[in-house]
Amino acid sequence: MTIKAGDKMPSGSFGVMTDKGPGSITTDELFKGKKVVLFSVPGAFTPTCSAKHLPGFVDKAGDIKAKGIDTIACLAVNDAFVMGAWGKHAAVGDKVLMLADGNATYTRALGLELDASGFGMGTRGQRFALVVDDGVVKNVFIEAPMEFKVSSADNVLANL
């Protein structure tokens, strides 16, 4: 079942790249007592994700955080090494937390997986954004196939 407004975020963990190498962060560490924008891309370094989706959140991070958001996090079905490299390449700094869901475990728990095997990419995450307050989903923005509108930084910001 697909996550919806009012649902509690499922428990789990994500890979992250730290100064000491690959690490992890739990959903409690990410969401408990915080307001979080979690957005998902089908893949690091892919065209729309790299040219529009991630850069939009990097550019609008100050405006989004000014609306009371504690953390902006980017999720992709990639490993922590790829997400770390992509974050460096995109100069996210501390504006966006790069989260790896290497086996799509968390993405499946959200009900937002995507079969991208036709593109040679296997299981990936749909393009979406969630606004989460203390572990409870407040807003859900799921893109139609091949679209990039509702999960954009501009649309999320307009709905905060």
Q: Which is it for strands 35-40 and 71-76: parallel, antiparallel or unpaired?
A: parallel
Q: State phi, psi for 86 to the nearest 5 degrees.
A: -65, -40
- Does the residue 134 lie in any domain? yes
Give me the half-sphere count of Cα atoms (radius 13 Å) on the Cβ side of residue 58.
Answer: 17
Rounded Cα–Cα distance for residues 77 and 1 (Å): 19
- Does the residue 41 lie in any domain? yes
Residue 49: active-site member = yes
Rounded Cα–Cα distance for residues 87 and 34 (Å): 22
- Does the residue 25 lie in any domain? yes
Q: What is the pLDDT of residue 53?
A: 94
Q: Which of 37, 49, 77, 100 does the annotation list as catalytic?
A: 49
pLDDT tens profile 18-70: 999 999 999 999 999 999 999 999 988 887 878 789 999 999 999 999 999 99
pLDDT band at 71 (very low <50, low <70, confident <90, very high): very high
Q: What is the pLDDT of residue 118?
A: 73
Give me the half-sphere count of Cα atoms (radius 13 Å) on the Cβ side of residue 12.
Answer: 17
**Domain assignment of residue 27, given as a range:** 13-158
* This prediction's pTM: 0.94
pLDDT tens profile 98-112: 999 999 999 999 999
- Does the residue 2 lie in any domain? no
Give me the half-sphere count of Cα atoms (radius 13 Å) on the Cβ side of residue 95.
Answer: 19
Q: What's the CATH number where 44 sits?
A: 3.40.30.10
Torsion of CA 131, 134, 136, 139, to 10 degrees: -20
- Does the residue 4 lie in any domain? no
For residue 27, the tally of other CB atoms under 10 A from its CB is 19
Q: Which residue has the tokens 């139609």?
A: 144
Which of 104, 131, 106 lies closest to 115, judged by CA?
104
Q: What is the pLDDT of residue 95?
A: 98
Number of domains the chain contains? 1
